[in-house]
DNA sequence: AGCACAAATGAAAATGATTTTCATTCCCAT
DNA sequence: ATGGGAATGAAAATCATTTTCATTTGTGCT
């Protein structure tokens, strides 16, 4: 197993703690950092193994990586203009926990998004 | 837009209401049905559009399709065996509504899923 | 410094699901 | 029967991710 390249983690942080491998790679390129796509993938995987980052899936199936320590939040997205608001999810956290316990699930995570039409649209 | 081939839906049912496009395709082949992979993909997508089936993602990113009851509900999914429990989401409904109002969004919908490891795994 | 050996790196090829293209076949209304 | 639009599927294209493998880099030892 390989150790994570620290520049990958630092870039993921800078990306807002939420990005796909391809996005991390492109971001590093744009910033003039010399790194291979393979190393980005390997580093992210290693960070996942070490439970330093979380991985989940976009709707299109692409894996996105998220800093675990980062404040966990959810999104309110406008279907028309794409505008996004980050929102608090305390109610969801509780709901997920209760439901999981009730059905004997462990190591649970969750996804939750709200989408609609914003006031400007 | 294309209409769903009824044999695809019937096969998905026979598969236990839970399978990937590739699996539906292989299953139909094994049963001697003549169909193209493209048609399987198109039919499943059409069923998703019509909200007759749900789509979610395996850990490896492959899309899996699932027959869904008609009432709005959410899911608790085992990341290991794929076992799914349909759960009630009253807390989510309220949360989505409050958040949307708070930010001036209208026509809002939401997605929410919980995933973890079930007691059998 | 000089050497040996392991770990890290990255370019290129392989993989595998999904989408796109496009020519052919079906179906149905006139 | 016939024309036009919908459905079909083989093959090619796409795209994220993984695998291979040769090269580079780092580290400890003499
Ligand atoms: Zn908007
Ligand atoms: Zn949350
Ligand atoms: Zn399970
Ligand atoms: Zn709901």
The ranges assigned to domains in chain A are: 1-70, 71-120
Could you give phi then psi for residue B8, rounded to 5 degrees? -70, -45
Question: How remote is the CA of residue A35 from the centroid of ligand 2, in Å?
Answer: 33
CA dist A90 and B95 (Å) reads 9
Residue A85 has a pLDDT of 83
Whether the pLDDT of residue A28 is over 90: the answer is yes
CB contact under 8 A, B115 and A92: no
Residue B1 has a pLDDT of 63
CB contact under 8 A, B91 and A89: no
Mean pLDDT of A72-85: 77
Strands B106-117 and B74-78: parallel
Residue B78 has a pLDDT of 81
Domains B1-70 and B71-120 share a fold: no
Ligand nearest to the CA of A66: 2
Cα Rg of chain A (Å, integer): 16
What string of DSSP letters covers A16-65?
TSEEEHHHHHHHHHHTT----HHHHHHHHHHHHHTTSEEEEE-TTS-EEE
Residue A112 has a pLDDT of 87
Token look-up 């790679």 returns A25
**Which is higher by pLDDT, B33 or A56?**
B33
Token look-up 């190591």 returns A107
Mean pLDDT of B38-56: 94
Nearest chain B CA: its distance from A97 CA (Å): 9
Whether the pLDDT of residue B118 is over 80: the answer is yes
Residues forming beta bridges with residue A102, ordered by sequence position: none
What string of DSSP letters covers B17-67?
SEEEHHHHHHHHHHTT----HHHHHHHHHHHHHTTSEEEEE-TTS-EEEEE
Whether the pLDDT of residue B69 is over 80: the answer is no
**Which is higher by pLDDT, B23 or B77?**
B23
**Which is higher by pLDDT, B13 or B75?**
B13
Right CATH for B71-120 from 3.40.50.720, 3.90.850.10, 3.40.50.410, 3.30.1490.190: 3.30.1490.190
Mean pLDDT of A8-31: 94
Q: Which nucleotide is nearest to B43 (CA to C1')?
A: D7
Residue B79 has a pLDDT of 74
Chain A / chain B CB contacts < 8 angstroms: 108
Q: In chain A, count of helices (H) and strands (E)?
A: 4, 6
CATH number for the domain whose boundaries are B1-70: 1.10.10.10
Least confident of A32-41, B15-24, B70-79, B93-102: B70-79
Residue B101 has a pLDDT of 94
CB contact under 8 A, B63 and A62: no
């Amino acid at each position: 197993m390989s150790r994570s390249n620290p520049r990958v983690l630092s870039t993921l942080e800078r990306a807002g703690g939420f990005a796909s491998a391809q996005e991390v790679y492109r971001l590093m390129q744009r910033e003039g950092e010399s790194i291979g796509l393979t190393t980005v993938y390997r580093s992210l995987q290693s960070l996942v193994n070490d439970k330093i980052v979380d991985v989940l899936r976009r709707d299109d199936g692409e894996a996105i990586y998220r800093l675990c320590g980062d404040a966990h939040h959810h999104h309110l997205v406008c279907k028309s203009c794409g505008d996004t608001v980050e929102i608090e999810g305390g109610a969801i956290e509780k709901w997920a926990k209760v439901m999981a316990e009730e059905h004997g699930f462990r190591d649970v995570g969750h996804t939750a998004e709200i989408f609609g039409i914003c006031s400007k649209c």
